[in-house]
Structure 1
Amino acid sequence: MALATLGAVVLDCPDPRALAGFYAEVLGGTVEGEGDWVDLKVPGGQPLAFQAAPGFAAPGWPSAADSQQFHLDLAVEDLDAAEAAVLALGARVLDAEDRSRNWRVYADPAGHPFCLCAC
């Protein structure tokens, strides 16, 4: 028997509403809340939450001294189309070296690493 269930994954960031909006465009869903805490209710999945963090510093990638701590893997059907879409929304490429892999690494507008993974 499990002790707990996952309530949400929470990302610290400088602007919770803006980052929730970025992920709403990528994943769909509804952005709820204002101020220091904003939720993204994702259809058929666990919610993502975004919390204001004064003095936020984006994780470094790749960097042993300034680790990413965690990242999101987002399943997509077309890597090229998904890449174009997330870049248009403000993501940036973190790893452009091996385009033959079935995954690619990006940073969201606040600097959190995430991967687009071919499903």
Structure 2
Amino acid sequence: MALAKLDVVVLDCPDPRALAGFYASVLGGTVEEDPEDGEWVDLKVPGGPALAFQRAPGYVAPKWPAPQESQQFHLDLRVADLDAAEKGVLELGARPLDVEDRERTFRVYADPAGHPFCLCAC
């Protein structure tokens, strides 16, 4: 029996509204925020756990790849067409981290705040 159920994955970042908008464009869903706060923004993702974005003063993006440093975590995002998804995330402001091997079933990017994520073929 599980002790808990995953509720939300929270990403620290310098601009919660902007990063929530990036992931809303990638995943769909609804951005919910307190307009007076600006420190925390939720993204309700259809069919999956919510993502939340929390302002972190002094935020430093993880380094990837860097065996001597932690990447902290990364998101694996399942896609039907790697090439089309790659084009879309790059247009939204992602940057490639590891896309050299075009035969693999995944490609690695950084979101606009520097968090690594993978596009994975279904």
Q: Deviations over 1:5-52 (max 9, x none)?
A: 111000000000000000000000000014110000001111000000
| 2:93 equivalent to 1:97 | no
Deviation for aligned residue 1:67: 1.6
Count residues in correspondence.
119
Letter in 2 for 1:28: G
Structure 1 residue runs of 5 or longer lacking an equivalent are none
Identity of paired residues, percent? 77
Query: Residue 21 of structure 2 corresponds to which residue in structure 1?
Result: 21
Deviation for aligned residue 1:97: 2.2
Moved over 6 A (4+): none
Superposed, 1:40-51 pairs within 5 Å as 40-51=43-54
Query: Residue 5 of structure 2 corresponds to which residue in structure 1?
Result: 5
Deviation for aligned residue 1:65: 2.8
Give the one of 63, 81, 85 matched to 1:82: 85
TM-score normalised per structure 2: 0.95
CA RMSD of aligned residues (A): 0.8
| 2:33 equivalent to 1:30 | no
